[in-house]
Amino acid sequence: MIVGWPLVTFVDALRLTRRGDGVPGFASLYSAALTRNVPPNQYAHYASLPGFHVSQIADVLLPLDSRGLHSLSRGRGALSDDVQDKARFEKLCSTHDLTCVPTIAVFDGGTSTGVENLQQWGQSFYVKALSGNRGAGAELWTPTMSGFTSSSGRELSIDDLIQELGLTNSIVQPVLDDCAELRALGSVALSSLRVVTAKGSSIPATVIAAALSLANKPGSLTSHAGSLCGIDIGTGRITAVRESTDREAPVIDPESPLIGFQLPSWIDAVELTCRAHDLAFPSFVTLGWDVALTPSEPMLIETNISWNMSMHQSLTGPLGETPLAEIIDELIAPAQARR
């Protein structure tokens, strides 16, 4: 890598410079790569954002930094299955009395639990991949006179559906509702609040970034197709909005009417995610929590090892300007002392 880095970054910087579109000059791109280990494509991405100053690039968390955080988590004994397996995640949360989405049934490698619950369930429910999948492929099943109909148009009896699920690795969870404040903003499905927390050795879990995926696009099944809103972690207010468009890349809308909206239950959501990190998943350095803001209280949906740092920094600025910098300093200090 040491030998290849100057050549690879030279080619990337040259390619980006020729592309134009407001990209910084070749000298700036290549210099940042050689002196700060900043990949040219990352430099160009952040430099193109409204309000971003090139001096801030030193405080941007980069892909290599993210891998370093994962390595620190593994060194502290973090187990990825604790967060990637949704059933295991729910069990750990319940053990520590943390409010999370309950489980109706689990199908895993030919074994199943909760089948009796599903047979008696008369309301709508979601079927999701047991591990990973980032919400993609979630299927909504709605009760009918003869069984259940899926969001893709299939109709099965409950017994046939259970037999089909027995061949999968999936989890069945109830449908949650948004609070009235989010519905008033146009949410038509369950919106999701992403809260990123970081935890040091002696520094307790602290929020370093947040974003709201607002399911305000007609026909949305989940929040992935809606507006993406950056959240000020000090106040819980929306400060930036990125809208999906017909263009290849989403655009930030500085005039969005969503800007300034105060998230309901923000303090409770912060307290819930920090408590969950400290009590149930203390070995992880960073985690990205998906939280449902329901009519009664915030509720944990899941948590993620990889939480899209680029998206958060594009919306609310470099993560090096948050408490993450102090936490990283604390974690790497023992290794530096040994050297």
| Stretch 159-184: mean pLDDT | 95
pLDDT the model gives residue 264? 96
pLDDT the model gives residue 335? 54
pLDDT the model gives residue 52? 79
Identify whether 258 is part of a domain. yes
Q: At a CB cut-off of 8 Å and minimum separation 6, what does 153 contact? A: none
Identify whether 53 is part of a domain. no
pLDDT the model gives residue 246? 47
Lowest mean pLDDT among 62-66, 165-169, 258-262, 285-289: 62-66
| Stretch 166-192: mean pLDDT | 94
Domain co-membership, 298 together with 162 = no
Q: CA triplet 17, 20, 25: central angle to 5 degrees?
A: 40
Identify whether 57 is part of a domain. no
Provide the residue type at 102 as one letter.
Answer: P
Identify whether 213 is part of a domain. yes
pLDDT the model gives residue 12? 82
Domains identified in the chain, total number: 3
Identify whether 60 is part of a domain. no
Identify whether 142 is part of a domain. yes
Domain co-membership, 166 together with 136 = yes
**CATH code for the domain of 224:** 3.30.470.20
Please name every residue paired with 251 in a beta bridge, in sequence order, or none if there are none.
243
Domain co-membership, 169 together with 185 = no
Residue 83: give the domain boundaries: 69-100+178-333
Single residue among 145, 174, 203 that ends a domain in this structure: 174
Q: What is the pLDDT of residues 267-313, one digit of tens each?
A: 999 999 999 999 999 999 999 999 999 999 999 999 999 999 999 99
Domain co-membership, 244 together with 260 = yes
Identify whether 293 is part of a domain. yes
Assign 245 a pLDDT band (cuts: 50, 70, 90).
low
Domain co-membership, 205 together with 308 = yes
Residue 257 has pLDDT above 90, yes or no: yes
Residue 229 has pLDDT above 60, yes or no: yes
| Structure tokens that stand for 134 in this block | 């980032």
Question: pTM for this one?
Answer: 0.90
Lowest mean pLDDT among 118-122, 240-244, 301-305: 240-244
Identify whether 130 is part of a domain. yes
- For the CA atoms of 173, 179, 184, 186, what is the dihedral angle to 10 degrees? -20
Assign 158 a pLDDT band (cuts: 50, 70, 90).
very high
Domain co-membership, 168 together with 189 = no
pLDDT the model gives residue 336? 53
Single residue among 156, 174, 192 that ends a domain in this structure: 174
Lowest mean pLDDT among 35-39, 112-116, 146-150: 35-39
Cβ proximity of 64 and 263 under 8 Å: no
